[in-house]
Amino acid sequence: MAVNSPLRTDLQVGGMTCAACANRIQRRLAEVSGVDGANVNFATSRASVRHDRSVSASALAGEVEALGYAVLEDGGDEQATAEREADLRRRLAVAAALTLPLTLISMVPALGFDGWKWVVAGLATPVIGWSGWPFHRAAWMNLRHGSTTMDTLVSMGSLSALIWSAVILIGDVGDGHVYFETGAVIIALILLGKWFELRAKRRSGDAIRALADLGAKTALLEDGREVPLDDLAVGMRFVVRPGEKIATDGIVVEGRSAVDRSMVTGEPVPVDVGGGDEVIGATINANGSLTVEATRVGADTALGQIIRLVDQAQGSRAEVQRLADRVSAVFVPVAIVIAAVSLATWLLLGEVAREAFTAAVTVLIIACPCALGLATPLGIMVGTGRGAQLGVIIKGGEVLEDTRAIDAIVLDKTGTVTEAAMSVTRVAAPGLDEPATERLAQLAASAEARSEHPIAMSIAAFVADKRDVDHFESLPGSGVAAVVDGEEVRVGRRSLFDRVPAAVEAEAAAAEQSGATAVFAGRDGAAEMVFVVADRIKPTSADAVAAFHEQRLKVMLLTGDNARTAKAVAAEVGVGTRPGDAVIAEVYPDDKAAVIMRLQSEGHRVAMVGDGINDSPALAQADLGIAVGTGTDVAIEASDLTIVSGDLRAVADAVALSRRTLAVIKGNLFWAFAYNTAAIPLAALGVLNPMIAAAAMGLSSLFVVSNSLRLRRFAGYRSQQDPRLDGRGAVFGQLGAYPGLGASAEAESVRTQQGGADDGRGV
């Protein structure tokens, strides 16, 4: 690792009560020398810091603790949340039990009696003092550091009611009206709102907790010992009995069985596996017994990396959040100033102190910016969690905004629209007799056996008996050249040959017209044979293209294959049926990014969908890069969205979910802004009273939370064909067989069948 390579440290922060707390911690961390950037998320209680190697995690934790907040150990967040919920429940129970009688006594004249004011004072004091203690403690802590938060407003409002009423009661001043019930009701209602909010926030994190629960808990070793999953190490062998979950990612070393991968890939049909096949942790062994050697454990497994990606996405922030952050940072001090101005104005106008005091306290309570702080992070948290359930990994909040602006989607053909399962369907060698045809096919297959390209592998598999290869050269974008059994042979595109006889060209044209790929083979610079190679179109690709059209996207098919084959595939899946659609064929690997740049220069906002190493530059260049999870590490790393199954309809689901999530976030922000904008003037004018203000403040936060939770019911296009993905979250279909994530070098050679480096022959 380079000395100056940036690091990222995540801290779980305890004690944050509102968005102002998060902003305060974020500013403090960003000011530390050596810190490149900090993001503190109120909804997830996480601080994510980018810094150089001169800054330690303990130093960052010290900065957070210096502000009066706690830094929790790994796994401590759930315990801290449970403890906070229990404490909140106790304080709420006391507040409710005492506030109800004191409110009735204060507001129902028939219940009045001599000395009732002293009784309500006695009931209100523990509510405001003990039940409201977390607000007062936080307000004092913030005051010591010269800052204000929501707690400052709650504490000032409730204590003002208590102290003012005590002065009136003891000193017998003013008009004798006391506000003990106001202070108590404020605390009780805000505690109730906080309790509902905390429970709802925990629901918003259900998706990632359910992801973590998918895996097995123990593994049965070869020697019969059953060990916890945490004790399993790479290289250890374990037994998977029928009906059991596979403990971790590995390779089958003994046995044959069918593995149900539906919870990972969404494919309802079990897949047969045997010796040498890769298996994924958390999938289910359907019938036979398997012995598996672990290749990845813990956080390195496919499931572990999915959880990490979702966790990071839930902690990110969208660009739209910046406005809310700026507003929240100044909202509390501005509210205090407005309350003071309101109090002074009422008194200067000659109104009684009771009206002036009520208006000021109401402004303090109504101005709490909780809803504003929750609007964006909760939307991202629920949206990305639901995406994970549907096999859509959204890498960050900014991706949501990029998705909204997309007007064109470019689809790589092989491995994305098609299966990338190439097979030779026919061999044509006009002018050669049968023995000569067999001889040339054998030479060509021997040469192609050295290539990693899917088409090359299909030709190599077509002939069982191979010859020794004396010399091999890969010609990217064209094919291969080799010396086999002393004969120089070439296999690849037309451009690889000096002469292509008319009869051979006619065979190739007929193959391409039918949608197949024609691969030429010959000796001494002349094409003598055509391998007709077919790649099955995925049965869901046409539905996906129809969904893109429904989303008003221009659809473009991009391929290195010839124009006739590309147009045949495009016609079958529906590309070209709407204005703006296009087929871009015969594109060399290095030119794919240039195609994206050209489309962008024409004014398009482009999404690129691909799965191979050759797609990575285009994925990075696109405004929105979408990797199909059956692809490679590099493609997944270069993308903004990852679809963990090979079903192209999942891309349509990703676009729809991103747009829906952003719409929910904007709705949250609108109503949060509208609430404060409308309520503060009404409070200052005396239209609202403090108790209504406290209830309204709590309800505004609950609205934001419940509106965000609606995303849990998002179903998508695939639910129309697959009832398991009906939006209820009953099945974690599509949870992503990330074959590329953290895979070994040995496994990479297997994966290239699904989308390897492009030599131009049809990918």
Q: What six digits make up the tokens of 395? A: 């890498």
Counting every residue, how long is the chain? 763
> Would you call 31 exposed, middle or buried from its count of C-beta atoms within 10 A (0-12, 13-18, 19+)?
exposed
Measure the N-to-C terminal CA separation of the chain; round to a whole number of Å.
34
Q: Which amino acid is at 591?
A: D
Q: Is 213 left (phi over 0), alpha (psi -120 to 50) or beta?
A: alpha
- Cα separations in angstroms, 380 against 370, 674, 709: 16, 21, 11
Strands (E), 578-705: 582-584, 606-610, 624-628, 641-643
| Catalytic residue, candidates 412, 640, 653, 722 | 412
Strand ordering across the sheet containing 284-285: 271-273, 257-260, 284-285
Residue 670 is encoded by which pair of tokens?
Answer: 């609108």
Alpha-carbon distance of 289 to 285, in angstroms, equals 8
The answer to whether the CB of 317 falls within 8 A of the CB of 41 is yes
**Distance from C-alpha of 36 to C-alpha of 46, rounded to nearest angstrom:** 17
How far apart CA 156 and CA 362 sit, in angstroms, is: 11
* Phi/psi at 731 (5° precision): -130, 135
Strand partners, 285: 259
Token pair of 227 as six digits? 């060990």
Nearest to 309 by CA among 200, 392, 401, 201: 392
Distance CA 258, CA 262 (A): 12
What's the maximum distance between 2 C-alpha atoms anywhere in the chain?
119
* Sequence letter at residue 323: L
Radius of gyration of the chain (CA): 33
Which of these, 19, 47, 10, lies nearest to 701 by C-alpha position?
A: 19
- Residue 365 tokens read as 């309570």
Instruction: Dig out the tokens for 214 from the structure.
Output: 């998918």
Where do we find the tokens 């949060």? 672
Q: Cα–Cα distance between 202 and 44 in angstroms, integer?
A: 9
* Run of H or E residues at 287: none
412 noted as active-site residue: yes
List residues with catalytic annotation: 412
